[in-house]
Structure 1
């Protein structure tokens, strides 16, 4: 919202010498985001005057049209003689009033004017365009003024070229500040000055003689005012002061009727719409659109309406998108000789925020009106805004206000909020006292009753005030956030990170130490992501938690796996020249919960009950913590130290083991088939729970070639994903350090021949169980296949390390443990010692 300081002074009598910077500091202290203060006319120096064009001579022989003009500037040049000026603009004629800067003047941007020879003539000054004067970006032609202004009049004062404009970023909860009325109220409170409210004007009461109006959708519109002005001079133009105020707030002047509605909208905060009464067919109706109805809006686009769209209609059909944009059929034509509009119907209505916001978003048609309606306007200001527009049409266009006043008002009850008088004190951690609380609430327009328990009637222009904390915030911000005491919370001694938090940090450090880079990703996905991953139609990962208001319509769901985001990040890095990439992420995934509904709103004035908390928790989606890693390119690079090697599925498998070791869990790895992995290069992780059952943990391996092609990834890209919550439960939350024995180790190697289909994990488990407590570690160091051991067979070579905690093992002890391990493997897997 752009707020000219000169306009603001009409409603608040600021102290003499107050600058825009002073007002900015006050408003920022009151909680408004004043981003900049624009200095209009900075560096502008006269003489800058109104001139009357006396003669125009067309100069020929140049690449572009050039005109040599004589201009009457009155006594501004000291002689009273006509001023000779060379100009290239074509949008003025003899007798027009223009803006002239004479030699010695300076335009914004330190553009100094002097007499100079150009195009074979001497130009004593310049005829100015709007952009050269800092009035806007229009550079197509010079400024042509109304004929009533005398030559020689000071144009700086006439055009209000010197001003300060505050640019305020209005947050969604402060829609009332999208008007001079709202900003003036905040300014008056900040300076402790009275407010001249532009909405406090005399308004005639409703009567049956106005233009007929019917509201068929009371939930979308609860108030509608219609006023009619006849005898409007369709050739009347907006005066300079009105045009300049609109330009300063960022609006382009169009025609008198439209300019007046825009002016009142910025002044009072109530959007208006003007209809040509001769084009209306029957009563004005507020209703929902019929699906498939069409409307050509003022921007010239034909729009197919949705059944949820709130529209303004007459007997011929829709004539406007309510609160967003009017229709072209009933628009007020531009002022001029071809315009015949002399009877104007003014609409001032109050629409519900949600339907307007959805319509504007559905049709991608944001407007200044929808911006205000979707934040909430003042329902009590409709009549005053309509009256203000009528007064301006009568004053500036010579119209006559019809006595008929239509005002359809649905039952309305003021909103009240009960609040303890010391509630702001408890929220802020300081003492304001009841007197200060009541005074501050009254300043923002509230009516306050009561002693210890206050009953606060909220003003109609503040729809954001609905709870005690909202009122406390108003007291705190007006008293000054900078005046709040600085206090630090006192945590109870002995508290630190939870076991879960420590595990996540250990996992991150372990993966980073293994060469992976953490890459947090957005948790949003779409069904197309699962198509590219090759997930089956019945895959549970396709069941998404859908967002009611997604940031991107193409990604409306929350992720059920970390892989889409990580793989997209890998692709982006590879596309930018990073050939060797290893990334990881730890984060939540989301699985929908069936059948549970959450309470609409938990109380803030008391602690929620256990039942309310449990109901809320039951409605939340399941959110397990996962860890995932992706890698491509070289795992070890070539160098003077030797030849490198590419990343393979084995590296992805090891990444999962690295994660599990941080929780003290040993993963069991078996072959598997699981999308999006290559069916022959995919491993499933399981872990042994306390009751001895095998619990699924995750998967790792090389991605399927079709997935690699669909995602545009490097060949042989590998990935891993595990459920950290499951790993933590299996590990029990405790990690113990290794026991260091002072006795020597006894090493025994064993090579076992098994069927090729037997997983190495099964053989390893059998060896561990058979070896007993003396086994310290077990490592698979070789896999061999060939004619020597037979077709369909493989040889697995293991290194077994034995150690006793209390003695030195003999050769017989180690051999006995080795033979027991081999016997167990033979019994469970059919293993045979390789000779």
Structure 2
């Protein structure tokens, strides 16, 4: 929120400099992002009045004027602005004045006519970007007065970055209350009196959705003149708060929003057919908004409607058909309380973010509607004239927020803060913040004001005391704590071990969002239903991830577009799978995944560049599984996956339990994620692969090992992994190493056959193996392979 320091000081003015005030607000939790002057640096500019304005004799687009600035003689000034005319009051830069940009005003001649000054536009004084003519000042502007002093331009705009829980400070009223508490000063609120009705016209109000709108106030104001410009003081306060002046009615509602923190809206009365209804939208109902955008609504959108049509999205944006225009004569003024839950996230769904939705999502004071209505009515009548009707209120007390009652214990306060705050100071702080405080035996019974939605428990009150007391005033003391060794399960492999293995293979750790683009995810996992967020950050981050691949693939494509062809990334994190049997209906599983693209290594004279393939990434996965000490329990089986290339994908199993997948990304997704070339991915269930066999110490054999090689011929469809697994079972204790070192197909082999060359290393711990023992083992191996796989020894 951006606001004028001068405006705030009309409510409460501590004896602090601008910088000190900004620091005080920041330390109280209302972080000041920036402080900037409200106008450019200039001097020598005064209020003047054009007493004569004639056509320049030598230029069609120039005028020669005489300007009264309260001096003995009128100034001759040549002006080119189309809106220059006799009688208006203007900002005059006199000779010797210095304007923003170090622009100095000197006596000059323009097309032969003397010019002793300049009539200024708002842009030339850096008051706005408006280049359309000179500034026209109010008729009561004092001629000869220093313009900067008269308009109060020695002011600063403070930009406060409020946390979502402090909606009570989204107005000068709330900020003034905070400053008053911090400096123990009384706040001077403007007196707001009820405006008496002078006409009987009214519109009945029906709360068809009281859970979304428990209170709605409306008032008819007839015969207003919308063509009247808002007074300069009002325009200036809006400008200094970052809001552009539009018309008097909109300006007034914006002013009330900034002053009291309460949104309002004005409808063209003639556009309303019959009574006013606050209701939920019908599914697929459409409305055209003030910006010309037509949106299709769902049945959870709250609407302001009449008997025939929707008028506005409640608390978000007005409708085009009911907005105030240049021809509007009668208006219906709205002041309502909309429940935060009814507004939250709805504006973002349609790509909108308005000042009203920003406040209603966080919560406005449910007791402020009448005050805001009277304030806005008085301002509209004062500026535009008109006749006000009675205020009509529809209310559902059962649906209004109930004030919270909290007990604040003195002992708890002292224990959490580490200091004892005097009881009188605690009561004074809370009372100034608007809390109703009653002394009790334990401490204080506190009733929370309706504008503090963020106060719900005792700790919230303790935080308020600490904040107002001043964090800097609480002494710093080192906490007393004892260190305790954490229990580490030796049967689990640390995640750090897996990370080190991957980093040794050239991977880098990535951290991506847990919410992903639903379109990308639906392509990768078409058979799984994802959890959709009700209030996402953006449309392309609205789905909870079903795996880590979507985030990693986006990151890989992002890096490749920035001249990083060789990408190796891994990530550990949760995936979220809807499951009715799981807690809260979501099964959260820790996963470890990776992606690899590009070449195996950088270009080198000895090896050139070889692109990564399936076996590279499979080898990386095998190294991970090797850390468990039970890698022999894992197997890779050919299996298809919707995200992977058929024929280049495999499921990983431990026993009968599926652990994950490894394979090549399907080519159809390469363009989706902006990936050039082939990409290979893997994903593993951390909870499964972390389980390992506890290592046991054993004797190291002092006896020689014996290697025997066999070459067998089997059908092409027989998997080498199954053959190796069978040999491991037969070799028992004597088999210490097993390696497939050659696969051959072609000449000298029957059709649809292949040759596998396998090296077996045999060794005993307690003796040297004899040839007969080795021969017996090899004979058994060959016989079992023949029986199980119809394998025969290769002759040549």
SS at match of 1:172: coil
Q: Residue deviations 1:570-603, cap 9 Å, x none?
A: 333333333333332232222211156xxxxxxx
How many Å separate the matches in 2 of 1:143 and 1:741? 99
Matched, 1:512 2:503: yes
SS at match of 1:473: helix
Selected match of 2:662 from 700, 706, 711: 700
In structure 2, the CA distance between the partners of 1:813 and 1:261, relative to structure 1 (3 Å rule), is: same
Selected match of 2:433 from 432, 440, 444: 444
Alignment of 1:227-626 (within 5 A): 227=219, 232=224, 236-275=228-267, 277=269, 281-291=273-283, 295-301=287-293, 306-315=298-307, 317-328=309-320, 331-334=323-326, 341=329, 345-397=332-384, 404-411=390-397, 414-421=402-409, 422-432=411-421, 434-449=423-438, 450-452=440-442, 454-484=444-474, 485-488=476-479, 490=481, 492-495=483-486, 503-526=494-517, 528-529=519-520, 532-533=523-524, 539=527, 542-594=528-580, 618-619=583-584, 621-626=586-591
Partner of 1:175: 167
How many Å separate the matches in 2 of 1:819 and 1:723? 40
Give the superposition deviation at 1:48.
2.7
The answer to whether the 8 A contact 2:38-2:157 is kept is yes
How many Å separate the matches in 2 of 1:313 and 1:559? 39
Give the superposition deviation at 1:506.
0.9
Give the superposition deviation at 1:509.
0.9
Q: What is the aligned length?
A: 787
In structure 2, the CA distance between the partners of 1:382 and 1:680, relative to structure 1 (3 Å rule), is: closer
How many Å separate the matches in 1 of 2:555 and 2:730? 46
Give the superposition deviation at 1:101.
0.7
Give the superposition deviation at 1:380.
1.5
In structure 2, the CA distance between the partners of 1:471 and 1:158, relative to structure 1 (3 Å rule), is: same
Partner of 1:830: 790
Partner of 2:6: 6
In structure 2, the CA distance between the partners of 1:292 and 1:267, relative to structure 1 (3 Å rule), is: same
In structure 2, the CA distance between the partners of 1:405 and 1:762, relative to structure 1 (3 Å rule), is: closer
How many Å separate the matches in 2 of 1:328 and 1:766? 77
Partner of 2:620: 655
SS at match of 1:84: strand
The answer to whether the 8 A contact 2:11-2:187 is kept is yes
Give the superposition deviation at 1:671.
4.5
Selected match of 2:67 from 72, 77, 81: 72
The answer to whether the 8 A contact 1:671-1:681 is kept is no
Partner of 1:672: 638
Partner of 2:20: 22
In structure 2, the CA distance between the partners of 1:214 and 1:576, relative to structure 1 (3 Å rule), is: same
**Deviates most, 287-296 or 266-275:** 287-296
The answer to whether the 8 A contact 2:91-2:135 is kept is yes
The answer to whether the 8 A contact 2:267-2:333 is kept is yes
In structure 2, the CA distance between the partners of 1:312 and 1:627, relative to structure 1 (3 Å rule), is: closer
Give the superposition deviation at 1:555.
4.6
How many Å separate the matches in 2 of 1:807 and 1:23? 87
In structure 2, the CA distance between the partners of 1:575 and 1:499, relative to structure 1 (3 Å rule), is: farther
Give the superposition deviation at 1:429.
4.5
Alignment of 1:141-156 (within 5 A): 141-156=133-148
TM-score (norm 2): 0.90
How many Å separate the matches in 2 of 1:783 and 1:827? 21
Give the superposition deviation at 1:317.
3.9
Give the superposition deviation at 1:100.
0.8
The answer to whether the 8 A contact 2:636-2:650 is kept is yes
In structure 2, the CA distance between the partners of 1:556 and 1:322, relative to structure 1 (3 Å rule), is: closer
The answer to whether the 8 A contact 2:28-2:467 is kept is yes
SS at match of 2:246: coil
In structure 2, the CA distance between the partners of 1:696 and 1:312, relative to structure 1 (3 Å rule), is: closer
Give the superposition deviation at 1:486.
4.7
Q: Residue deviations 1:396-450, cap 9 Å, x none?
A: 4555655x44333432574123334133344445443654443332221111223
Partner of 1:721: 683
Partner of 1:614: none
Partner of 1:782: 742
SS at match of 2:717: coil
How many Å separate the matches in 2 of 1:347 and 1:167? 28
Alignment of 1:37-56 (within 5 A): 37-41=35-39, 43-56=41-54
Partner of 1:612: none
Partner of 1:90: 82
Give the superposition deviation at 1:227.
4.3
**Deviates most, 793-802 or 228-237:** 228-237
How many Å separate the matches in 2 of 1:741 and 1:806? 7
Matched, 1:682 2:670: no
**Deviates most, 18-27 or 746-755:** 746-755
Partner of 1:609: none
How many Å separate the matches in 2 of 1:43 and 1:364? 38
Give the superposition deviation at 1:274.
3.5
The answer to whether the 8 A contact 1:20-1:165 is kept is no
Partner of 1:632: 597
In structure 2, the CA distance between the partners of 1:767 and 1:21, relative to structure 1 (3 Å rule), is: same
SS at match of 1:221: coil
How many Å separate the matches in 1 of 2:720 and 2:273? 85
Q: Residue deviations 1:313-343, cap 9 Å, x none?
A: 3445443333334445555445xxxx673x5
The answer to whether the 8 A contact 1:424-1:437 is kept is no
**Deviates most, 207-216 or 259-268:** 207-216
Give the superposition deviation at 1:204.
7.6
Partner of 1:768: 728
Give the superposition deviation at 1:42.
5.4
How many Å separate the matches in 1 of 2:489 and 2:482? 15
In structure 2, the CA distance between the partners of 1:121 and 1:749, relative to structure 1 (3 Å rule), is: farther
Matched, 1:222 2:184: no
**Deviates most, 307-316 or 37-46:** 307-316
How many Å separate the matches in 2 of 1:639 and 1:40? 62
Give the superposition deviation at 1:458.
1.0
The Cα RMSD (Å) is 3.3
Give the superposition deviation at 1:178.
1.1
How many Å separate the matches in 2 of 1:214 and 1:634? 70
How many Å separate the matches in 2 of 1:13 and 1:714? 62
How many Å separate the matches in 2 of 1:706 and 1:325? 41
How many Å separate the matches in 2 of 1:560 and 1:277? 51
In structure 2, the CA distance between the partners of 1:712 and 1:790, relative to structure 1 (3 Å rule), is: farther
Give the superposition deviation at 1:300.
4.7
The answer to whether the 8 A contact 2:493-2:627 is kept is no
